[in-house]
Amino acid sequence: MKSLVARTFIAFALLIFAGPIATSQSLEELITQYEAFNQAGDPEELAKARGEDARVWAQVTPDYVAQRAREAETMLAALDALDNPGQGPEAAILRHLLQAQISAHEYDTARIPFVGDWGFFAQAPYTAMRTRANSRKRAEAWIARLNDLPRYFDDHVANMRRGIATDWTAHADPLATSISQVRSHIVEDATESTLFMPFASLDSSDLSEADIEELKADGAAAVETAVAAYAELLVFLETEYAPAARDGAGIATLEGGQEAYAVAVDFHTAGAGYTPEQIHSLGQSEVARIRANMEAIIAEVEFDGTFDEFVDFLRTDPQFYAETPEELLEKASEMSKRLDAILPRYFKTLPRLPYGVEAVPAAIAPGYTTGRYSGGDAEKGIAGTYLVNTYALDQRPLYELPALSAHEAVPGHHLQIALAQELEDVPEFRKSYYATAFGEGWGLYAEKLAGEADFYRTPYERFGQLSYEMWRACRLVADTGLHHYGWTREEAERCFIENTALAPLNIETEVTRYIGWPGQATAYKVGELKILDLRAKAKDALGEAFDIREFHDVVLGAGAMPLDALEKRIDEWIETAN
Residue 567 has pLDDT above 70, yes or no: yes
| pLDDT mean over 299-316 | 97
Supply the pLDDT for residue 88. 79
Per this entry, what is the length of the chain? 578
Instruction: Count CA atoms closer than 13 A to 242's CA, side-chain side.
Output: 14
- Whether the CB-CB separation of 185 and 129 falls below 8 Å is answered with no
- From residue 50, how far is each of 59, 90, 188, 380, 429 by CA, in Å? 19, 24, 36, 15, 16
Residue 464 has pLDDT above 50, yes or no: yes
Residue 23 has pLDDT above 60, yes or no: no
Q: pLDDT tens for residues 433-462?
A: 999 999 999 999 999 999 999 999 999 999
| pLDDT mean over 228-236 | 98
Residue 461's contacts (CB-CB under 8 Å, 6 or more residues apart) are: 399, 402, 403
d(CA 143, CA 215): 9
Peptide bond between residue 344 and the one before it cis (omega within 30 degrees of 0): no
Residue 363 has pLDDT above 90, yes or no: no
Sheet hosting strand 355-359, strand order edge to edge? 355-359, 384-388, 371-374
Rounded to the nearest 5 degrees, what angle is found at the Cα of 444, between the Cα atoms of 439 and 448?
Answer: 140
171 secondary structure, DSSP code = B
Supply the pLDDT for residue 9. 43
Residue 308 has pLDDT above 50, yes or no: yes
* pLDDT confidence band for 13 (50 / 70 / 90): very low
* pLDDT confidence band for 381 (50 / 70 / 90): confident
Element (DSSP H or E) covering residue 116: none
- Whether the CB-CB separation of 513 and 369 falls below 8 Å is answered with yes
User: What is the C-alpha radius of gyration for the chain, rounded to an integer number of angstroms?
Assistant: 23
Supply the pLDDT for residue 352. 97
Supply the pLDDT for residue 3. 43
> Mean of the per-residue pLDDT values for the chain?
93
d(CA 504, CA 492): 13
pTM of the model as a whole: 0.90
Q: pLDDT tens for residues 383-438?
A: 999 999 999 999 999 999 999 999 999 999 999 999 999 999 999 889 999 999 99
- From residue 157, how far is each of 350, 422, 566 by CA, in Å? 43, 37, 39
d(CA 30, CA 25): 8
% residues pLDDT > 90 (the chain): 86
Q: pLDDT tens for residues 237-267?
A: 999 999 999 999 999 999 999 999 999 999 9
387 secondary structure, DSSP code = E
Q: pLDDT tens for residues 490-502?
A: 999 999 999 999 9
